[in-house]
Amino acid sequence: RFLEYSTSECHFFNGTERVRFLDRYFHNQEENVRFDSDVGEFRAVTELGRPDAEYWNSQKDILEDERAAVDTYCRHNYGVVESFTVQRR
């Protein structure tokens, strides 16, 4: 039995002035590969993640999507949540 999962994280600094996006992949609660928008590519965290990082970095469409996530995922969702919380005040 094993557990595979991923998390997508948005870290906001000064509203949306600076945003960092992390896409992290885990196997049995150990992170093995991540995309970090500050780096701009996938990096293996463990040897288990090396083949995935190498493959994903070789795929231009995957990298373009991950790099765009700061805007398409993080900033977009910040705007959605912000408008909701402002309405609730």
For 8-72, give the secondary structure using H, E and C: EEEEEECCCCEEEEEEEEEECCEEEEEEECCCCEEEECCHHHHHHHHHHHHCHHHHHHHHHHHHH
- pLDDT for 89 equals 54
- Domains contained in the chain, number: 1
- Tens digit of pLDDT for each residue in 32-85? 999 999 999 999 999 999 999 999 999 999 999 999 999 999 999 998 888 777
Two tokens, residue 47? 């040897």
- Tens digit of pLDDT for each residue in 8-22? 999 999 888 999 999
- pLDDT for 69 equals 97
**Phi, psi angles (nearest 5°) of residue 80:** -65, -50
- The CATH number given to whatever domain includes residue 10 is 3.10.320.10
Quote the pTM value: 0.87
List the domain range (segments joined by +) for residue 34: 2-85
